[in-house]
Structures are given as structure tokens and as C-alpha cells.
Structure 1
């Protein structure tokens, strides 16, 4: 008698808790997430204290956490969640003001995995919020450890293993390009601190963020990296020692003004559901700098940057990616690594020292 193959085990839904002092907002987010396949809202709470009580008695993968709440606010709750439940991922949710952006940025450094701006008025804003939140919950929830009985999944093609000694570029870089998303701000601060006092090449950075956040990120990078760093302005000349951040809502690309490389900003349609997106920056930098372009893809969900890395490699340029173990989400670096064209896969703490060595290498 022939035995039938065992039925495939369906992965369990990602379990989410929504924390917000507004019953209207809680209801909105609950409905958004409940409509998504593979996501289950298992709890909600009106403040951080109630959220911690729920975490003590339920298995939860992702918490969507408001900032301003009575009794215990989001920042205080985050510190307790990180300390008591280190496996839980937290997405900070706030209205898009500078104050809330500053708090959200602080939350990222305290252990929050991501942030999202609460929906704007109108159906279009609500739908965009629903799609973004669902994508972030899926990406972060997928990082939860698999049960011991479950074999690790494999995705083809298999990317290269992390290397302590990546292949060096063929020429000394003329520009360094960095792309990042989920988990990017804390990773960037560590990287720029490691580059302090070195690397005279200009740095072009695209981080998936709203406008208010990109301005704050530039300020933070200026302080920690001790190099001028600002949101790019259309027509900016690309100068050595400077860092240019793609402003939220704008693609940042590279062009020539005579012999001088300059930055161009546009509001062309989103690429990979993002604006700013990494691909346009890498693609146009490859055209202008050729073999002198060096790319770095850091932690982030999705696959933005992979096509740009391929364009970079075709133009004779070079790129490396952050490894999976040190990434919050190994989407973008994993997709770039899977092209088979990466010069190396490095832990975050090794990327800075490697860039310091490579930036001064002889042609």
C-alpha cells in the first residue's frame, strides 16, 4: 500500500498587537491588518502599560506602537518591550510632525525595528498606509525564529556567504553609494561613526523615509560622522567629503553639467513601491562614474537596489552588501547578493573598516 505524502504545514499567521490611545485609530489599524492574509490581530491596547500586560500573556510577533499615550507613552513602553520581550518587533506609528519624527528616530536607536506615518486624510492616504503597514508587518514577522522541527527554508539562487575579505574594486572609488530601508538609520549611524576622519569620496545616500525624517537623518549623520551631510538640492555639485541624502518623496539621480557630476531630483513614479528609491541613484551613478562607482546595500525589506547593482556591475563598478545576521531585514541586501555580482557580503561592523581601506587604495 502506497503511503501518501504528508500534507504541507501552513505557516501560522503573524500575530500583531495594536497600541494606540485613540479607539478610532486602533479600529482603523485593526481592520486594515485583519483584511490581510497571513496576519492576525490578537490584541489591542490603549496605552503602554496595558500593552505590556498583553505581552505577558500572549504570543505576539509584531507590535504597532503609538508614541503619545497616557499612563505609559510609546517610548517608555518600547524600552520595556525591548528589555522583557527581545524577540518582539516594534513598528512606531505617529503623525508626521518634526517632534514625532525626532521621537521615532530615537525609538529606532532604542530598539524599534521600523516606523510608519499615520494615514493622511482621504481614501488614497488610508490605502497607502494599509499597504505600507502590511508590508512592514510581513517583513518583520517573517524574522521570527522557526520551530525546532521546521527545516530552514532556502531561496534560489543561494547568495554568497559572508566574507571577511571581499573582492576589492578594480579602481579607487570616485563616489560611494549607499542604499538602506528597514533598520537603516541605526546601521547608518554606526557606519558613519566608523568612517569618521576618513573617506574623502562623496557619499550619496538613499534611505526609504518620509521628508521630515530624511532631514533629521542628515543632521544626525553630520554629528556622528563629522562630515557635512544634508538633503540633496536639485543641481547640487557632488563635492568630495560631503554626504547627500535623497529627500523624502524625491528620487535622487546623478547627471553631468559639463564635466561636473551633479545631483538631480525628480518625482517620477515610485520604483519598487518607493520614492526615493535606490535603483535610480545606482543606475544613473553607474552611467556617470562607471568603474569609479562603489555601492553598499544595507538592511531593508524588499528588493530595491538589486537592479541598480546590476547596472553598476555592467558599467564596471563594484558593490558589497550587509550580511543577514546583522540586518534587521535581509530583503534588499539579500536580493542584491542573489544577483551573484556582489564583491562581498559583510557584517555591518566590518563595512566601515573595509571602506576606509578601499577608499585610499591606489588605482
Structure 2
């Protein structure tokens, strides 16, 4: 069935750089399902315009005068909680920290801005490539999707829940996530029992620097020691590693120890890091003594790797549709009949603890 987009996704662009507001408006002007209803140079002006412009979504800069992206998000949560937000972030430590805070406040995702205003126009195609799939996701979400009954099409396979959860010997949990993943991981990771004596390996699709700041943020919220992975790190119980942006994360055995190795091999599913690379390596090193978890995210990254884990006897958990910001990655695993258990986000950690306790 081909999904038909009806109406337009009404977008308000909020950025203090006029060249960026204009360039982004022009860039989106030829997208059939997007209508740029206006622009604003800061959050204060945006909030004043929202009642008359009635946007469905904001493309919101993190750093702005008068009212920045964080304060604007807080106001939106109170005044206009249904408006979806995609952040624009600069590639700095402060920008990464602010962006992670924005995601925790309800922003759906983010796109990196060029490092300087002189680079805006030469980088608009890259921004377009990253921004359009995220805007399309918002357009396809339930409130914007036109119902398209198709009696001739077979009904989609409905996710099944396992009737019971069996305990298994487990040494490692491999987690894959993308769009919506930072918030999902902030919910799941702190609830995984430290007493289970396992290691955790995470692929969250993020650019360099952002993964480092994200690992530092997670480290403050869980009993596990969380850090961005580096080649040679020992995978030991009680540790959790986040794959660095632009590097695949895999494992190797050295002198009886499992160690992390990073490389910049070809992108898989358009991703680096890719969950497929991690999952394949986990399947080879840990076999059935592993647990794979596929959380919210666009695309199919992790599906092929989950198949290899499953073939080696690992258990696979997938997040359900209702609690996923983007039901692409978990859906691909479920439809390939690789998921042993399909769960709402709030039940993932509890189920993990029951399996590995």
C-alpha cells in the first residue's frame, strides 16, 4: 500500500541567522507536503506568531538571543504541547549538551548546522538530506496521515507478545536506537539491574561529539559506568559503551578478554555506527549468551544483525509501535519474525531484568 500524504505539514522556522531562515525556507519550498508558514528570529517572536500561523512543527535553533531553544521548548510544552519540534544544533560541546537537554524536553530529533554562516548555502543540501526524512516522519504520524483502506492488501502482521519470559544466562545486552532513542535510553538504561552482572553495548545514531556528551549524560543516570567507546576498551560486567559517531563498534577476543574495536568501514543502511555491525559481532562472540534490544528509530538498521543473533540463540526484544517515536527499526525486526518479545517502552527494562536476573 502506498501512503498518500494529504494536507501540508505546516512548518515554522525559528533561527536568529537571516541567511539560514531564508535558505531553509527556499530549500523546503519545493517539497509538496511541506508548507513553510513563517519564520522567526528567536523563541519569543515564534511564540507570538504561533496562534495565528498554527504550525504543526517547528524547526528550532538551540542558540538564540532573548529566548533560546531550551526556554522556547519549555514554553511550548505548557502552551502548545502538540507541536512537534526538530532542533538545529551547532557542533560544539555546549551545542551537544543543549541539544540533549532539548531532546529530554520533548524535541523529536535534531539536525546539525554548518559551523559558520558562510558555509550555510554550500551545506544546505546536506541539511536537506538529514531534515527531510525527519519532517516526513512527522507528516506520516497518525494525526497527519490520511486513512487509506485497501481490502486487497493483506493485513499487517500484528506484533505478538511472548506468553512468558524465560530466564537465560546472559553476558551482554546489545541495544540499537535512532530517532527517539535518547529519551528511550534515558528511560530504559537506569532501570536495568546492576546486579545482573552484564555488559551493555549501545548504538544510537548520532554525530561525533554528541555521542560523547550523551554517554556522559547517561553515566549520571545509571549505576552502570557509561562512556563513549574507544578501541581496546575491555567489555566487563557493569560497564556500558556508546558507539562513537562516525565509527562502527565491534568486538574481538584478546587473551581471553572481550575488547572493543572501532573502524570506519562502509556505511550500512546509511549509518555509521550501524547496529548491524555491532549485532553481528555480538552474535559471533557471545552467541546465545546475549540479549538484543531494538528501540525506536527510522529505517531498518539492526534487522540483519538481529537475524544473526537469533540464529546463534540470542533473545531479541523490540519496542512496540505505540510507544515508538519512529517505528521503523523495531518494525523491521518484528516483520522479519525475529522478535521474541514486543513491548511498550516502559516494560522493556523490567522484562530485561526478569530475563537476566
Scaled by the length of structure 1, the TM-score of the pair is 0.89
Q: How does 1:88-167 map onto structure 2 within 5 Å? A: 88-120=83-115, 121=119, 125-146=123-144, 150=147, 158-161=156-159, 163=161, 165=163
CA contact (8 A) 1:94 1:116 kept: yes
Q: Which residues of structure 2 form unaligned runs of 5+?
A: none
Task: For 1:37 and 1:290, locate their aligned partners in 2 and report how far apart those are by CA, in whole Å.
Answer: 47
1:266 corresponds to: 263
Query: RMSD over aligned Cα, in angstroms?
Result: 2.4
- Map Cα deviations across residues 24-75 of structure 1 (whole Å, 9 max, x no partner): 0111222222243432222211111221233212342221101222232211
CA distance, structure 2, for counterparts of residue 146 and residue 156 of structure 1: 23
Q: Distance in 1 between matches of 2:195 and 2:352?
A: 9
Residue aligning to 1:173 = 170
Distance 1:153 1:303, change over 3 A: farther
Aligned to 2:222: 225
TM-score between the two structures when normalised by the length of structure 2: 0.90
Indicate if the aligned counterparts of 1:176 and 1:202 stay in contact, CA closer than 8 A: yes
Structure 2: how far apart are the matches of 1:242 and 1:180?
A: 18
Change (3 A) 1:159 1:278: farther
Among 229, 249, 253, the residue aligned to 1:256: 253
User: CA separation of 1:275/1:153 partners in 2, compared to 1, >3 Å: closer, same or farther?
Assistant: farther
Deviation at 1:196, TM superposition (A): 4.6
CA distance in 2, matches of 1:235, 1:175: 17
Counterpart residue number, 1:341: 338
Match of 2:43 in 1: 48
Give the total of aligned pairs: 351
| Change beyond 3 A, Cα 1:352–1:17 | same
The answer as to whether partners of 1:162 and 1:347 remain within 8 angstroms in 2 is no
Q: Distance in 1 between matches of 2:8 and 2:308?
A: 37
Deviations 1:111-137 (A, max 9, x none): 111111103548774432210111111
The aligned counterpart of 2:279 is 282
User: Which residue does the alignment assign to 1:4?
Assistant: none
Residue 203 of structure 1: SS of its match in structure 2? strand
Distance 1:241 1:310 in 2: 26
